[in-house]
Amino acid sequence: MTGKIDIREQAKRAKEASTALAQATSAEKNTVLDSIANALGEHHDEILHANAQDVTEAKKAGLESFFIERLSLTTARIDSIVQDTRNIIALPDPVGEVFDERTLQNGLQISRRRVPLGLIACIYESRPNVTVDVATLCLKSGNASFLRGGKEAIRSNRAFGNAIHAGIASAETSISPEVVQLITEPDRAHVDQILKMHDLIDLVVPRGGADLIAHVTDTATMAVVAGGIGVVHVYVDATADLEVALEVVDNSKTRRYSICNALDTLLVHQSVATDFCQRLADRWKDRVTVLASEDAYELFQSINEFPGLSIEKAVAEDWDTEHLAMCAGVRIVTDLDAAIEHIAKHGSGHSESILTTSNSSAERFLNEVDAAAVYVNASTQFTDGGQFGLGAELGISTQKIHARGPVGLRELTSYKWVVYGDGQVRPI
């Protein structure tokens, strides 16, 4: 669609379509998801071509490397998106689930039944895969979706949207393509317009940088699930298996540096700092820039075997920065207490990991570190809806409401109280 668009009219169509979608059977929804997966494969070349144009324009605009990396699609990434869509088919449908059943003394039979939220809006930036993730998760959970991606990915999002609509239409079920609405013009004024439509939109999810998330949180007139900003720590304890620790630390930083669950600050117990930092210097030379605390800087400088390692002295704001680049803060700490204290001061409540062979240290870390995901002896890069068995994710919430961490199908439902009686009346 080109030219001026009426996004309120789009939202109305999505809201109306959500009513029928809420009543669709699991079989119907799975049929549509299978058809969408097939259509994504059939539109593979169109999607890659559109994405190549977006990437070219982003590079011309001088956007940062992490932004380009998030924006870029490959055949392997599209195949992964298709597989994630099929994985959602295999997941239990939360809609209609009955729980907390009980019978009161007066004979009333009470339970709670899961229901969709209605219309979910997502405002997001450079990741075009979000278009598919949100549309398919919303569809399986009985919700319509209202999608506003960033201008940098507009061609990619349109190509994904075309495939999704083609898939829904070809499934020939009662589910209308109107349940997925993509805003195809990147006018920033649309964002504030969306955030005022509380009469139509039941939930809004911002996915992007701190500025976007803050604006949505401060401006929205409907419920918001926000998060995704990750200042992520890994702590190497005194008892850590250093070979295991090296692999986990390296994976947490370098597998994909541009994602919110990538390591930002490494904390190392002073008793193993010399041995571990020597191993790390060998692994990270010519790859990762180390932003080191004063004592860590002196230690790395003394390691002469690896002149290819890039080392800089950390400044105060480095400890509060989500780097999204091949750099990481490194700080030597005296003990577990100091590590937990640092995370409490500088963490964002996203993902934190301890590397240790001590059960007591592990339990203290799990109990005392306040984050959506806490790990023992594992990479923080697993904080992901697909990796957690959710099929995909609407986003990663760092809030403390019902949705925390990767937001999947169940978090996209509410519930209604269902009460069966046989003539009971409440006494005066």
Asked whether residue 267 falls in the same domain as residue 200, the answer is: no
The backbone torsions φ and ψ at residue 391, rounded to the nearest 5 degrees and listed phi first, read 85, -55
E strands present in 31-97: none
Asked whether residue 190 falls in the same domain as residue 338, the answer is: no
Number of compact structural domains in the chain: 2
- What pLDDT, on a 0 to 100 scale, did the predictor assign at position 228? 65
pLDDT band at 186 (very low <50, low <70, confident <90, very high): confident
What is the average per-residue pLDDT within 150-156? 94
1, pLDDT greater than 80:
no
The position carrying tokens 């390692």 is 309
428 in a structural domain: no
395 in a structural domain: no
Assign residue 363 the CATH number of its domain. Answer: 3.40.309.10
Residue-wise pLDDT tens digits, 218-234: 999 999 998 768 899 99
Q: Which two tokens stand for residue 292?
A: 């080191």
Asked whether residue 305 falls in the same domain as residue 337, the answer is: yes
Alpha helix locations (H) across 172-290?
189-195, 210-219, 242-254, 273-284
What is the average per-residue pLDDT within 295-315? 87
Residue 28 or 402, more confident? 28
- What pLDDT, on a 0 to 100 scale, did the predictor assign at position 184? 86
- What pLDDT, on a 0 to 100 scale, did the predictor assign at position 3? 44
- Do residues 336 and 272 lie in contact, with contact meaning Cβ atoms separated by under 8 Å? no
Asked whether residue 180 falls in the same domain as residue 247, the answer is: no
Helix (H) or strand (E) holding 89, with range, is helix 75-90
Helix (H) or strand (E) holding 12, with range, is helix 7-22
pLDDT band at 117 (very low <50, low <70, confident <90, very high): very high
CA 147 – CA 122 distance, rounded (Å): 5
Share of the chain above pLDDT 90, in %: 83
Provide the residue range defining the domain that includes 142. 7-225+407-420
Asked whether residue 199 falls in the same domain as residue 270, the answer is: no
Asked whether residue 240 falls in the same domain as residue 355, the answer is: yes
CA 23 – CA 93 distance, rounded (Å): 12
Residue-wise pLDDT tens digits, 248-277: 999 999 999 988 999 999 999 999 999 999
Asked whether residue 46 falls in the same domain as residue 186, the answer is: yes
Residue-wise pLDDT tens digits, 380-406: 999 998 899 887 788 888 888 778 888
Asked whether residue 119 falls in the same domain as residue 147, the answer is: yes
What is the average per-residue pLDDT within 62-78? 91
2, pLDDT greater than 60:
no
E strands present in 125-210: 144-148, 180-182, 203-207
* Burial degree of 9 (CB within 10 A; 0-12, 13-18, 19+): exposed
- What pLDDT, on a 0 to 100 scale, did the predictor assign at position 5? 76
Asked whether residue 107 falls in the same domain as residue 199, the answer is: yes
281, pLDDT greater than 90:
yes
Assign residue 121 the CATH number of its domain. Answer: 3.40.605.10
pLDDT band at 243 (very low <50, low <70, confident <90, very high): very high
Q: The pTM is what?
A: 0.85
